[in-house]
Amino acid sequence: MAASNDRKNNDNAADAEETTLGFADTTIDTELQRALLDGTTLNATENVCTVDEFNVPSPFGHARSEMRLKALWHRATFIVIRHEDSDNNEDGDSPADTSNIHLLVQRRSNIKDYCPGRLDPTPGGVVGYKESYELNAQREIAEEMNIDVTTDNENNKGNSIRHLFTFPYQDNKVKCWGGLFEVVYRGKLCDIKMQPEEVTEILRLSLDDVRKMSEKNPHDWMPDALHAIQLYLQYKQDVKINRRLIKGYHGSDLTHYTLRPKPKVIFFDCDDCLYFDGWNVADKLTAKIEDWCTTKKMLPKGEAYELYKKHGTALRGLLAEGWLAKSDEAIDGYLKEVHDLPIVSEQLLKKDEALREMLLKIDPSIPKYVFTASVKDHAQRCLEALGIDDLFEGIIDVKSCNYATKHSGEAFEAAMRIAGVGNDPESCIFLDDSVKNIAAARDVGW
């Protein structure tokens, strides 16, 4: 719990009778339902912005009490209020350092028609009919906390507001499309004036405190607001690492922002990804392909590379231009010969304990596969030499993908099929040293 100087109580709430201000105490579910039916809840007749499941507004809105009784989809604002007190040397830029980011958390009054008496780490409100998210956010924090974020008002002493994203939320009690805002408040806690019918207490808590307190007593907190905080932290991390936010992708669309689910599988490229040896092994493989083409097929020097550039791999080029028979025997013979390197016997690669430790730190419940453009035998030799062959579910090689390259969607679809994730590209994580391969993976939704 916050120290006494990090808490502000509502001096107007002298006693419980006065706090109700003529409205029903809604802390008991049965009383809340009765009050909603009777129309005696706070702002019961207010016309609010109801929407469909895709956030399209209804033509006329609905009374607030009806929206609550029927659990209708509606719009609401969620405002992360970061308190940057000039008297404290705080740096709130790092989402990883949650102990150094302080939020203003409301204790809701006992007459609210949703989660009365609970702590709210993202104060905001239900959006009114024909009201925008932005106007609602500005209005709510001005009315409930006397925080001014309008740029054309002299009462704004360096405060700021930003709309970060919009997100859907639903549970067994509420369905809403939330607009999440970040406010930076640079005033004093003592300058805040609480609206008695809405707020009974304000706490200044670190994000770390919010996490610990909500884990200890989850029923003391608003579930949708805690979800909003999770989204906020994910968003801040996305910004920090410059993650591409792309419309239409799960967890990457700021108009429909969602928590990214736990991945179902992780794919690792082998050569020059799981290890890097200055392209020594890669150069030897290239030399063997060149040698095969010049000695077996009498192709001019450098033609193997031209086939690679034109067709994605030398193998596909040999097949396409008739230099290699389209038979399993011929293809297997070629692949075996050009990948036959003494990885283990000549110690081209050595055990990598740091790599092993890193892989072991990854959630063991998520299966890991090697996804390589080479053949299984070569990848297996590399894994054994590195001392990590026991950490993977299997190896998906060029033969497994019907000789498709990782420049095409066909290879990624085959990998998903083999890994057992079906047609669920967003559940896949992919690591590769080739930018082209990464781009192709993104195109299929990885």
How does pLDDT run along the chain (446 residues), one tens digit per residue?
A: 333 347 767 654 434 333 455 666 677 788 888 888 888 888 889 999 999 999 999 999 999 999 999 999 999 999 999 998 755 545 445 555 567 899 999 999 998 999 999 999 999 999 999 999 999 999 999 999 999 998 766 666 789 999 999 999 999 999 999 999 999 999 999 889 999 889 999 999 999 999 999 999 999 999 999 999 999 999 999 888 887 766 666 667 899 999 988 899 999 999 999 999 998 999 999 999 999 999 989 999 999 999 988 888 899 899 999 999 989 899 999 999 999 999 887 889 999 999 999 999 999 999 999 999 999 999 999 999 999 999 999 999 999 998 888 988 999 999 999 999 988 888 899 999 999 999 999 888 88
The pLDDT, as a whole number, for residue 377 is 93
Query: With 0-12 CB in 10 A as exposed, 13-18 as middle and 19+ as buried, what is 253?
Result: middle
Output the CA–CA distances (angstroms, integers) from residue 88 to 48, 92, 93, 100, 203, in the order listed: 40, 11, 15, 10, 16
User: In sequence order, what are the residues at sequence separation of 6 or more whose Cβ sits closer than 8 angstroms to the Cβ of residue 319?
Assistant: 326, 331, 403
The pLDDT, as a whole number, for residue 91 is 47
The pLDDT, as a whole number, for residue 42 is 83
The pLDDT, as a whole number, for residue 53 is 96
